[in-house]
Amino acid sequence: MNLWLSIYRRLRILPLTILIVFVALFVRVESAKVNAKKGLFITTNTVQAEDAKKDEHKKEKKEESKADDKKDGDKKDEHAEAEKKPEEAIDPLDVTKQEMRASSELAILQELADRRRAIEQREAAVMEKEALLKASEVQFDAKIKELTDLRNEIKALVDTTKAKEDEETKRLVTIYEKMKPKDAAGILSTLNMSVLLPIARGMKETKLSPILAAMPPDKAKQITDMLARKAQILPQDTPVRAAAEAAAKEALPNLPPPPSE
pLDDT at 71 over 50: yes
Q: In terms of pLDDT, which residue wins out, 162 or 63?
A: 162
**Residue 235: CB partners within 8 Å, gap ≥ 6?**
241
Confidence of residue 41 (pLDDT cuts 50, 70, 90): very low
The reply to whether the predicted model has a pTM over 0.75 is no
Q: How far apart are CA 243 and CA 212, in angstroms?
A: 12
Quick one: what percent of the chain has pLDDT higher than 70? 57
Provide the mean pLDDT of the chain.
74
pLDDT at 66 over 50: yes
Which of 86-95, 109-118, 233-242, 248-257 is predicted most confidently? 109-118
pLDDT at 5 over 50: yes
Confidence of residue 119 (pLDDT cuts 50, 70, 90): very high
pLDDT at residue 191, rounded to an integer: 87
Residue-wise DSSP of 205-247: HHHHHHHHHHS-HHHHHHHHHHHHHHHHHS-TT-HHHHHHHHH
Residue-wise DSSP of 125-176: HHHHHHHHHHHHHHHHHHHHHHHHHHHHHHHHHHHHHHHHHHHHHHHHHHHH
pLDDT at residue 106, rounded to an integer: 85
∠ CA 227-229-230, nearest 5°, is: 65
Chain centroid, CA 186 distance in Å: 82
The lowest-confidence range among 19-33, 39-53, 148-162, 238-252 is 238-252
Q: In terms of pLDDT, which residue wins out, 155 or 68?
A: 155
pLDDT tens for each residue of 124-168: 999 988 888 888 888 888 889 989 999 999 999 989 988 888 888
Residue-wise DSSP of 45-80: HHHHHHHHHHHHHHHHHHHHHHHHHHHHHHHHHHHH
pLDDT tens for each residue of 182-231: 998 889 888 888 888 888 888 888 888 898 889 888 888 888 888 888 65
